Structure 1
Amino acid sequence: MSTMTSDTAYDYVIVGGGSAGCVLANRLSADPTVSVLLLEAGPDAEPFWVRTPAGVGNVFFDQRINWKFSTEPEPNLAGRQLYWPRGKILGGSSAINGMVYVRGFAYDYDRWSALGNEGWSSEEVLPYFKRSETNDHGESQYRGGNGPLRVSYPDRQHRTTEAFVQAGAKLGLMRQGDIAAETQDGVGFLQHTIGDGKRSSTARAYLGPARQRKNLTITGGAVVSRVQLRERRAVGVEYRRNGSIFLAQARRQVILSAGAIGSPHLLMLSGIGDPAQLAGQGIRVEHPLPGVGANLQDHLAVNAGYEVHRGASLNQSLSGWQKFLHGAGYLLRGKGPLAVGASHAVAFVRSNVAMEVPDIQLSFRPLSFAFDSKNKLKMHPFAGVQFASAMLRPRSRGRIELRSSDPTAAPAIIANYLSDPDDERVMIATLHWIRRIASMPPLGDLVVREDLPGSNVKTDEQILEFVRRNSQTLYHPVGTCRMGHDSLAVVDAKLRVHGVEGLRVVDASVMPEIVSGNTNAPTIMIAEKAADMILDDAR
C-alpha cells in the first residue's frame, strides 16, 4: 500500500457517515465559514433496495453495504454466535434498518440526567427530536413539522394490525394515537422513517440538501485506521482509500460517529483505552481510559409466529405473481406493501406490575417470513403473522475488545446476553405477553395455530430454553463510549473524550443506559444536540 500525506486541513473531520455523522455534516457545514470532511467506509450510494422500504431483507446480508459482524459464542445462548448487521454505506444503519421511529420514554432521558449528565433530561432533548423531523401529521407539542427526517404512517393499515391493537386495548393497554409523542406506554400503530414511499435515511434526509455546499467534502470508501494525537490533542485522522493512505488534518475537532462498535474500536487502535488490552495487542498507550468498549448493551429479542386465516396476512400479496403486481404499483405510485416497513404496530408492556414504566416491546407484523440457507428472505407458504419481542432495559453488560492491532480486523463483540438472572425472567415474560395478545379477540379470532415456538413449549423452563436457542439481537448496540464522570466514563456530558482535547464521540455509543425502544431516532437526536454543543464551543 502506497503512502500519501495530504496537506488538506478541515475545521471538522467526522468519522462515520451513519445516523449521527450525516446529521453532524449537515448542521456543522451550515456555517459557510467552516470546512467539514465526512469520511465513510462504505459507498456513497443509495441502491434501489436501500431506498425501497420493503427491501430490508435484500440488504440484511449484503456485504457490499453491511459490516456483517457477529458476536463471540454466547455462553447463555447455547454457545451461539449472533449476527449483528451494521450499515456500511452513507446513511449507516439508517440505510438498512427496519425504519421504525420510536424515541424511548421520558424516563430514559431523565435517568441519563440523574446519572450526572447535565442537559440530557427528557425536557431538554425534546426540542432536538422535534428539530430533526417532519411528521406527516404536522407539528405539535411533541412532534416536529419542519425537520429533514420524514416520519410517516402507512397510507392504510392492514385489518390484522388493527386487530392486534384492539386485542392489546382489551387487555388493558392504553391505546395511543401517537406512540412517539407524550408517552409510549400502551399500544398503537408504528411510524416509520419513510417519506413519499422512500426510506428516509440520514443520507437522504440530511446530506441530500447539503451536498452542494462547497465547504462540505464527502468521501466514501474511506476506512479510518487511527486518530492522530499530538500531546493528548486530536489533530487529524489517518485513513485508507483505493490502496493509498491519507492524512486528514482537523483544525478544530475530530468527531467519531462510527457507532457502538466502530467508535470504541477506533479509540483503542489510536491508543486510547484500557492499558492492559492495548498492551496485549502491542499498541502504545496514548491516554488510559479503561471504560472504552465496556458497558455494551443491546436489546435481546425473541420472535413468535402464528398461522392465521387466509386473507388475514400479507404473505400472499408478497408472494408469487402478486409481488410483481405490487412491485409495478410501487414503481408507478410509491405506495402499497413495498412502501412500508415490516413492523406495523407495537405494544409496550410490563414484565411485572411493579415496574414503573414498561420494560418489554412487542412489535407486530401482519406477515411472516424466514431466511433460507442462502440467506434469502422467503415469505412463509401459509398465511402468517409475527411478533418480535424485546427486553428493553437489560441488566446484562458486555464489551467490545480488540482482536488485533490491524485496523481492518473486526473487534471481538462479547454481548454477555442473559448474564444477569433477572433478564431471564423478563424474556420469559415476553412470550407470556405475546400469547395473551394472540389469544385475545379480535386477533385471537384470526389465529389458526401457533407456529413458533409451538404448543410443545409450555413451561417457563421450556420457554427459557427456547429463548437460549432461538433469540436474536434487535440490532440496538449502545453504551461502549458512555457519557459520565466516573472512572469508566469515556465522554463528558458535552460528548468530549475525557483527557483528550479536540476529540468527541457522537453516536449511540455515548448512551449511559440503553433507551426503551428502537435506537435510530435517539441517535439522530444525540447528533442534533451535539451539533449545537460543538457550534457553541466554537463561538
Structure 2
Amino acid sequence: MRQPTRLPEAPESEHYDYIVVGAGSAGCVLARALSDDSAQRVLLLEAGPDAETFWVRTPAGVPFLFHNAALNWRFATEPEPNLGGRAIYWPRGKVVGGTSAINGMIYIRGDRQDYDDWAAQGNPGWAYSDVLPYFRRSEKNELGASEWHGGDGPLKVSTGEYQRPISAAFILAANRIGIPENRDFNGAHFAGIGYCQHTIHGGVRQSASRAFLRPVRSRRNLVVRGGALVHRVVLEDGAATGVVYERDGQVMRASARREVILSAGAIGSPHLLMLSGVGPGDQLQAAGVPVALHLPGVGRNLQDHLCLNTVFEVHEGLSMNRALDGWRKYLHGARYLLNKGGPLSMGTSHVQAFVATHAQRSRPDVQLSFKPYSFTFESDEVLRVHPFPGMQVAGLQLRPASRGAISLRSADPARAPRIEANYLAAQEDRQTMIRALELIRRLAATSPLSDMVVREHLPGSGTDTPERMLEFIRSNSQSIYHPVGTCRMGQDEAAVVDERLRVRGIRNLRVADASIMPNLISGNTNAPTIMIAEKAADMIAADRP
C-alpha cells in the first residue's frame, strides 16, 4: 500500500486550553462560548479559508456556492445501489462558517418528540425541555422573546419579506386538503404549513461565522486559523493532548491543556477520529493507521434526508425564473447592492409543510419545501433555472429507517473518506417517498394552485403507478444535505460519545456537532447543530477541574 508523502512535523507545540477542530455551525459557537472566559486560550482550526465572499453574504448566492471548490468540500457518496448506482453529490462548507455559509438558511428545530426520543434512548439531559433553553439562548428572532424564542441571542432569524402570490396559493391549496396553517414551526406546534424562517437579517446571510465569531474576533484569548487541515488528534496514555495540522505547507503541532473538541461535522469528525486511530480496528489496520482504540461505532449510523424534486410549469408572471435569469438578474443585483432587497435577499425555500401521510400515525413523516422558481441539477458549475416559468416542490421523508456509514479510504488526511448513504434500503423509506410524491401531486391539482399550473414537468406524464413513481425516485432524487449520526451519542457499546459528548475510552476528547445525533431530526439540521454546541459549551465549562 502506497503511503502518503508526509511533511516533517514542527518540533515545538503551540499551547492552548481548548482546541476546536472545524469552524462550522458548531465550531463557531463553541469558540465564542469557550473564549467568554478570558482565562481560557482557545484555538479554532478550519481547513477552508477565513473569508466571507459576496456570494456567501448574499442569500440568493447559493447557486454560486453549490460547486465552488474554494469554499466547498464537494463530497460524493459511493454508487448507491438503491438509486440506480448513482453517486450522490454532498456539498459541505469548507470555510470559516462551515455549511452555514453555503446552505439554504432555513431555521427549523424539528419535532419536540425527536429530542424526547434521544433522551429515551439513554441520553439524559437531551429531552426537548432540556434543549429548548439552548435554542432560545442562541437566537434573536424577529418574533421577539417568548416561551419558544430568544430575543437577544447572536443568531438573527427572520421571515422572508419577498413573498410571491403563488406561495400563498400553495398554502391555500394545502389548507383545502386538510393541512392547517402554522405560523411558527418552532413554537407550540410542529405540524402544518407556513412561510419559512431563515438565518437572514437585513438581506444578509447570518452564517455562524457572522453571527457568533465576528463580534468576538478581537478577543486576545481566541485564535482563528483558516487554511488549517488537521491531520490527527494527538493521543497520549489514553488522553487527547493536542492536534497535528497542516497550514501553508508546514505541519504544525498545537497542545490542549484541557480538551480537544471535534466539530468537523458528520463526515469530518468520524474521519478525524479514524485518522487518529480511534474507530473500527480492522478498517484502520487496512488503511495503515495504528489502532489506538477499537471503537466500532465510529462512522456508523449515518442518516440523511433523501429529496425528490418535482417541477411544474406555471403561467407567465407567477414564477421567479425570469427574475433570476437573463438581463433581469442584473437589475435585481443592482437593487440588492442599493438596499439589500428584492429576490437576492431571499432564502432558497419560501414555504414549508410538515405532514403526516401514514393513515395510522398522526406525527408528521414528510416535509415539503416550496420554491416559486425551478432549477436543474445538471450543471457542474451552478444550478440553472429552467427556461420556462416554473415552481418546484421538494419532498422528503423526515425520519428515514435506512442507515449508512463513513469509512476510512486512506491514511492520507487530504483524501476524502468513503461515504455510503445506503438510501432507500428500508421498505418503509420507499413507501414514504411514494406518499410524498402523491401528496405533492394532490396539492398541484387543488385550487387555487391548480389554476396556476400549466403542466407537470417533472416527473411528467407516465409516472402514474407506485412502481413508476419509485423508479422516478430512484433515478432522480438527491440529498437535501442533512447528514448526521456518525459519532452517535448513547450508552451502548456501539455509541461513540456519552451524553456529555465525551468520546468513550479517550479522556479530554469530545465531539460536538451533528454527528452525535442518535436519530435524524424532523427537518433541517443547522439550528439543532447550533443548539448542540451551545449545550456542549455549558457541559465543558461544568466539567472543568
TM-score, length-scaled by structure 2: 0.98
Question: Which range moves more in the overlay, 136-145 or 245-254?
Answer: 136-145
Tell me the secondary structure at the aligned position of residue 101 of structure 1. coil
Over the matched positions of the two proteins, sequence identity in percent amounts to 57
State whether residues 140 and 157 of structure 2, in contact with CA within 8 Å, keep that contact through their aligned partners in structure 1: yes
Tell me the secondary structure at the aligned position of residue 152 of structure 1. strand
Tell me the secondary structure at the aligned position of residue 203 of structure 1. helix
Q: d(CA) in 2 for partners of 1:333 and 1:432? A: 41
**Shift in Å at residue 393 of structure 1?**
0.5
Question: Which residue, 309, 315, 335 being the options, matches 1:309?
Answer: 315
Q: Are 1:377 and 2:380 counterparts?
A: no
Partner of 1:467: 473
Q: Are 1:59 and 2:98 counterparts?
A: no
Backbone CA RMSD of aligned residues: 1.0
* 1:369-417 Cα shifts (integer Å, max 9, x gaps): 1244443332211110001111110000000011111111110001111
Q: Are 1:393 and 2:395 counterparts?
A: no
Q: d(CA) in 2 for partners of 1:382 and 1:6? A: 61
Q: d(CA) in 2 for partners of 1:183 and 1:67? A: 36
**Shift in Å at residue 225 of structure 1?**
0.6
Q: d(CA) in 1 for partners of 2:444 and 2:456? A: 9
**Shift in Å at residue 321 of structure 1?**
2.1
Partner of 1:444: 450
Q: d(CA) in 1 for partners of 2:381 and 2:477? A: 17
Q: d(CA) in 2 for partners of 1:86 and 1:167? A: 34
Structure 1 unaligned spans of 5+: none
What are the residue-to-residue correspondences of 1:18-37 with 2, within 5 Å? 18-37=24-43
Q: Are 1:349 and 2:349 counterparts?
A: no
Question: Which residue, 185, 198, 202 being the options, matches 2:191?
Answer: 185
Partner of 2:97: 91
Q: d(CA) in 1 for partners of 2:385 and 2:250? A: 44
Tell me the secondary structure at the aligned position of residue 180 of structure 1. coil
Tell me the secondary structure at the aligned position of residue 5 of structure 1. strand
**Shift in Å at residue 188 of structure 1?**
0.5
State whether residues 145 and 151 of structure 2, in contact with CA within 8 Å, keep that contact through their aligned partners in structure 1: yes
Structure 2 unaligned spans of 5+: 1-6
Q: d(CA) in 2 for partners of 1:3 and 1:24? A: 27
Q: Are 1:152 and 2:195 counterparts?
A: no
State whether residues 280 and 298 of structure 2, in contact with CA within 8 Å, keep that contact through their aligned partners in structure 1: yes
Q: d(CA) in 1 for partners of 2:360 and 2:354? A: 15
Q: d(CA) in 1 for partners of 2:355 and 2:203? A: 30
Count how many residue pairs are aligned between Structure 1 and Structure 2. Answer: 539
What are the residue-to-residue correspondences of 1:190-269 with 2, within 5 Å? 190-269=196-275
Q: d(CA) in 2 for partners of 1:38 and 1:194? A: 24
Letter in 2 for 1:518: N
Question: Which range moves more in the overlay, 154-163 or 395-404?
Answer: 154-163
Q: d(CA) in 2 for partners of 1:87 and 1:425? A: 32
Partner of 1:17: 23
Letter in 2 for 1:63: A
State whether residues 5 and 245 of structure 1, in contact with CA within 8 Å, keep that contact through their aligned partners in structure 2: no
Letter in 2 for 1:194: I
Partner of 1:289: 295
Letter in 2 for 1:314: M
> Which portions of structure 1, spanning 4 or more consecutive aligned residues, are displaced by more than 6 angstroms?
none
Q: d(CA) in 2 for partners of 1:323 and 1:105? A: 37
Letter in 2 for 1:125: V
Tell me the secondary structure at the aligned position of residue 395 of structure 2. strand
State whether residues 48 and 71 of structure 2, in contact with CA within 8 Å, keep that contact through their aligned partners in structure 1: yes
Partner of 1:131: 137
Question: Which range moves more in the overlay, 367-376 or 505-514?
Answer: 367-376
State whether residues 314 and 453 of structure 2, in contact with CA within 8 Å, keep that contact through their aligned partners in structure 1: yes
Letter in 2 for 1:244: Q
State whether residues 13 and 252 of structure 2, in contact with CA within 8 Å, keep that contact through their aligned partners in structure 1: no
Q: d(CA) in 2 for partners of 1:372 and 1:219? A: 35
TM-score, length-scaled by structure 1: 0.99
Question: Which residue, 410, 415, 418 being the options, matches 1:404?
Answer: 410
Question: Which residue, 82, 100, 109 being the options, matches 2:88?
Answer: 82
What are the residue-to-residue correspondences of 1:525-536 with 2, within 5 Å? 525-536=531-542
**Shift in Å at residue 2 of structure 1?**
4.3
State whether residues 9 and 253 of structure 2, in contact with CA within 8 Å, keep that contact through their aligned partners in structure 1: no
**Shift in Å at residue 123 of structure 1?**
0.7
Question: Which range moves more in the overlay, 214-223 or 341-350?
Answer: 341-350
Question: Which residue, 29, 45, 48 being the options, matches 1:39?
Answer: 45
Q: d(CA) in 2 for partners of 1:69 and 1:423? A: 23
Q: d(CA) in 2 for partners of 1:353 and 1:173? A: 14
Partner of 2:305: 299
Partner of 1:4: 10
**Shift in Å at residue 170 of structure 1?**
1.1
* 1:446-492 Cα shifts (integer Å, max 9, x gaps): 11100100021100000000001001001000000000010100000
Tell me the secondary structure at the aligned position of residue 492 of structure 1. coil
Partner of 2:459: 453
Q: d(CA) in 1 for partners of 2:423 and 2:361? A: 21
Q: d(CA) in 2 for partners of 1:375 and 1:447? A: 30
* 1:35-87 Cα shifts (integer Å, max 9, x gaps): 00000000000010011000000000001010000000100100000000000
Partner of 2:4: none
Q: 1:283 to 1:2 in 2, by over 3 A?
A: closer
Partner of 2:489: 483
What are the residue-to-residue correspondences of 1:324-363 with 2, within 5 Å? 324-363=330-369
State whether residues 2 and 243 of structure 1, in contact with CA within 8 Å, keep that contact through their aligned partners in structure 2: no
Q: d(CA) in 2 for partners of 1:166 and 1:421? A: 32
State whether residues 67 and 380 of structure 2, in contact with CA within 8 Å, keep that contact through their aligned partners in structure 1: no
Question: Which range moves more in the overlay, 176-185 or 250-259?
Answer: 176-185
Q: d(CA) in 2 for partners of 1:356 and 1:487? A: 33
Letter in 2 for 1:299: H
Q: Are 1:113 and 2:119 counterparts?
A: yes
Question: Which residue, 159, 163, 166 being the options, matches 2:169?
Answer: 163
Partner of 1:122: 128
**Shift in Å at residue 282 of structure 1?**
2.0
